[in-house]
């Protein structure tokens, strides 16, 4: 019985080690746009789940000074979901993110766990 538990434990550790680390994959600078290619914000995420939102003032991604959507916060990662626990993604945008690497790296942000999308994001070095 002990040996079987040990073997199952090793299997679980191996499965967890092989699972993608979405926190690390989602780390980076993201440019987020609404429908019709309208710039919303740049979101910088680190592998620890800290983030910064910089609301776009124009199509060249200049910071919109004084916008209440600017700020920092934290995320938790549950599978491929990015759940804001503090900061403007929680308090101002009220969104939950879903990370995908299926057809290129993207993050979609929808209102409160719904399927109503606010914005979609791509790595900043891939879009202008």
Which of 22, 25, 88 has its CA nearest to residue 53? 88
Burial tier of 45 (Cβ tally within 10 Å: 0-12, 13-18, 19+): buried
Q: What is the mean pLDDT of residues 4-8?
A: 34
Distinct helix (H) and strand (E) counts, the chain? 3, 8
pLDDT tens, residue by residue, 49-83: 999 999 999 999 999 999 999 999 999 988 888 99
The pTM assigned to this predicted structure is 0.80
Ordered structural domains, the chain, with CATH:
22-126 (2.40.128)
pLDDT band, very low/low/confident/very high, at 128 (cuts 50, 70, 90) = low
pLDDT tops 70 at residue 9: no
pLDDT in tens, 22-43: 667 889 999 999 988 899 999 9
- Exposed/middle/buried for 61, CB within 10 Å: 0-12, 13-18, 19+? middle
């Amino acid at each position: 019985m002990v040996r079987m538990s040990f073997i199952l434990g090793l299997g679980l550790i191996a499965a967890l080690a092989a699972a993608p680390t979405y926190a690390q994959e989602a780390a980076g600078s993201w440019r987020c746009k609404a429908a019709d290619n309208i710039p919303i914000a740049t979101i910088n995420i680190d592998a620890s789940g800290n983030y910064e939102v910089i609301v776009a003032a124009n199509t060249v991604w200049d910071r919109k000074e004084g916008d209440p959507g600017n700020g920092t916060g934290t995320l938790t990662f549950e599978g491929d979901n990015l759940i804001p626990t503090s900061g403007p993604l929680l308090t101002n945008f009220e969104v939950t993110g879903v990370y995908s690497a299926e057809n290129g790296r993207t993050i979609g942000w929808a209102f409160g766990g719904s399927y109503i999308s606010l914005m979609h994001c791509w790595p900043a070095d891939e879009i202008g």
